[in-house]
Amino acid sequence: MDIWSSVLLGLDTALSPSTLMYCFIGVFLGTFVGVLPGIGALVTIALLLPITYHLDPTQALIMLAGVYYGAYYGGSTASILLRLPGTPAAAVVCLDGYPMAQQGRAGVALFMTTIASFVGATIGILVLMLASPMLAKLALQFGPAEYFGVMALGLVAAATISGGNPIKGMAMVVVGLVLGLVGIDLQSGMERYTYGIIELNDGIGIVAIAMGVFGVAEVISKINNVEAGHVHSGGISMRSMLPTREDWKRSAMPLLRGSGIGSFFGALPGAGPTISSFLAYAIEQRVSRRPEAFGHGAIEGVTAPEAANNAGIQTAFVPTLTLGIPGDVVMAVLMAAMILHGIPPGPQLVLEQPDLFWGLIMSFWVGNIMLLVLNIPLIGLWVRILTIPYSVLYPGVLMLVCIGVFSVTNNTFQIWQVIAFGAFGYVLMLLRFPVAPMLLGLVLGKLLEEYFRRALVLSRGDLMVFVERPISAVFLALTLSLIVWGIWEAIRRKLRPPPTAGRRALTSND
């Protein structure tokens, strides 16, 4: 099937009225939670997950994906106006976006981030369209040994590269794998770590963990720490948003460079949009003819990272959809949603269910065009939302989490799980352990075990299968070197004098 007929097939799905509606709901909610610091795309997707059980899988997926990329459009709004990133990837936009707002150019910054997001997403989607079918064909030749290698690499990469202490990241992956043990072992039928609690037989719910460690723990740490924005909401008129010709000229190349960086790093498991945006900023500063302007409201410092993180989100779908390997936690939850809906991601999805696959990709175009409309003419709405104080928001978040998780199985046991993981997640946060690798470990753990066993069955128990097959040998060698590097790096860093106090998000790039 050539690409044009695929595109038409996809448009057929994406443009049907009900799909358009779910796509709109997704990107609207995504922008909403992206604008608000303290509620993320992940919790929103986890909340919507039980609701989507009643929907057609394609529409459900389109809506959930819309929340994900919609959040990144909204994320920069709070960065610019309040110097408070709405999403982690938007943290770097604070550096130049906030100074721009102080100079009275908030409107221009908001306009240009939306344009940058759109350009980045457009390029990212093009890469996704071209790369996925090729990768899917390659992946058809993968056996269980190769899948095991790729997955191990993805997990270890996510744990070690994503900033912070690599050993803690790996420890958290193992914690996630351990949590995945709970329940009835499919091989032997034996109950493991259930302590006679019947509800635990099916394992710990991914929705409950996601809501606990990302929703409740986040709320606990944000209360009394987030102030409502003092935004001059009258200040953003359509006229004040128009960039000058100088702004356009300065932004053109950074937009393209940012999109390129984002497209590449977004597709690497473990790298993802946040790292792409930091990298894009660093590179712009290096190639700029006026590096001293960075940090004082340079427009390039806003547009390049925004283009990078939005491109990265789109290309992050490449490994998720074609190989079933999520690049970050949100992708992991999306993948769990796909599995729940009976459409496990992998090369079969790309090649044998083209209507679903291309429908999803075409919905990204549709969704991004909706986001353009939502974020330029309607920016005033989002700015006003920023003025809602957190003390009004968090009870609502807690209520939604509680009822939402209850409705997964109509059982209050789910709420108790969320409470337990909320407490656990908050303690982990205080002890500076990253929680994202834990969730990735939980999602990928079962698959990892499955592929390991299957590879051994095929090789009649010969472990050499993992090193004799060239692709899997390369992946495992990379995994091993990452582990060694991670341990070395962590110990080296510990023995150096500590860096001066600063925001972790802003120093993790150094």
Partner 1 sequence: MQRFDYRDLIGGLFMVAVGLYVALHAHANYPIGQLQRMGPGYLPVVLGYMLAGFGLLIVLPALLRPVRDDGEPFAVRVFVAVLAAMAVFALTLERFGLAPATMLLVVIAALAEPGVRPVRTGLLAVGLAALGCIIFIYGLGVPIPVFAWGN
What is the binding site for partner 1 (CB under 8 A)? 51, 165, 167-168, 170-171, 174-175, 177-178, 181, 185, 187-188, 190, 192-193, 216, 219-221, 223-224, 391-392, 394-396, 398-403, 406-407, 410, 412, 415-416, 418-419, 422-423, 426, 428-433, 449, 453, 456, 461, 463, 487, 490-491, 494-495, 497-498, 501
The phi and psi torsions of 163 (rounded to 5 degrees) equal 90, 160
Contact 228, 222 (CB under 8 A): no
Please tell me what DSSP assigns to residue 192.
Answer: E
Rounded to the nearest angstrom, the gap between the alpha carbon of residue 105 and the centroid of all alpha carbons in its chain is 29
Q: Using an 8 Å Cβ cutoff, are 43 and 401 in contact?
A: yes
By beta-carbon proximity to partner 1, the closer residue of 372 and 483 is 483
Q: How far is the CB of 399 from partner 1 (least distance, A)?
A: 5
Report in angstroms how near the CB of residue 224 gets to partner 1 at its nearest: 6
Q: Say if residues 111 and 383 touch (Cβ distance below 8 Å).
A: no
SS3 of 184, please? strand
Residue matched to tokens 């510990």: 494
In whole angstroms, the minimum distance from the beta carbon of 44 to partner 1 comes to 14
Pick between residue 264 and residue 452 the one whose CB is nearest to partner 1: 452
Residue 8 or 21: which CB sits closer to partner 1?
A: 21
Can you give 434-463 as a three-state secondary structure string?
CCHHHHHHHHHHHHHHHHHHHHHHHCCCCC
The minimum distance between CB 323 and partner 1, in angstroms, equals: 23
- Of the pair 5, 412, the CB lying nearest partner 1 is at 412
Q: What is the closest distance, in whole angstroms, from the C-beta atom of residue 60 to partner 1 in the complex? A: 14
Q: Closer CB to partner 1, residue 241 or residue 397? A: 397
* Residue 287: CB minimum distance to partner 1, A: 33
Q: What's the Cα-to-Cα distance from 217 to each of 203, 282, 418, 504, 508, rounded to whole Å?
A: 21, 31, 10, 18, 21
In the bound state with partner 1, the residue whose beta carbon lies nearer, of 175 and 321, is 175
C-alpha distance across the termini of the chain, in Å: 46
CA angle centred on 242, ends 239 and 247, rounded to 5°: 155
Note whether 152 and 174 are within 8 A (CB): no
Please, what is the minimum distance in Å from the beta carbon of residue 194 to partner 1?
A: 11
CA distance 441 to 446: 9
* Beta carbon nearer to partner 1, 95 or 428: 428
Read off the tokens for 258.
């940012």
Q: Could you tell me the smallest distance in angstroms from the CB atom of residue 171 to partner 1?
A: 4
Which residue number, 46 or 349, has a Cβ lying nearer to partner 1?
46
Shortest CB 38 distance to partner 1, Å: 13
Q: Do 73 and 115 contact (CB within 8 A), yes or no?
A: no
Residue partners of 149: CB distance under 8 A and separation at least 6: 466, 471, 472, 473, 474, 475, 476, 479
Question: Minimum CB separation from partner 1 for residue 227, in Å?
Answer: 12
- Among residues 437, 372, 339, which one has the least CA distance to residue 69? 372
Which CB sits closer to partner 1, 221 or 348? 221
Instruction: Tell me how far apart the alpha carbons of residues 491 and 510 are, in angstroms, rounded to a whole number.
Output: 17
H/E element, 29: helix 17-35
Q: How far apart are CA 505 and CA 443, in angstroms?
A: 25
What is the distance between the alpha carbons of residues 328 and 186, in angstroms, rounded to a whole number? Answer: 27
Strand partners, 191: 184
Rounded to the nearest whole angstrom, what is the least distance from the CB of residue 110 to partner 1 in the complex?
29
Min dist CB 430 to partner 1, Å, is: 6
CB of 220 or CB of 505, closer to partner 1: 220
The residue among 205 and 345 lying less far from partner 1, judged by its C-beta, is 205
Q: Residue 334: CB partners within 8 Å, gap ≥ 6?
A: 45, 61, 64, 65, 68, 320, 326
Between residues 152 and 241, which has the closer beta carbon with respect to partner 1? 152
User: Strand 191-192 relative to strand 183-184: parallel, antiparallel, unpaired?
Assistant: antiparallel
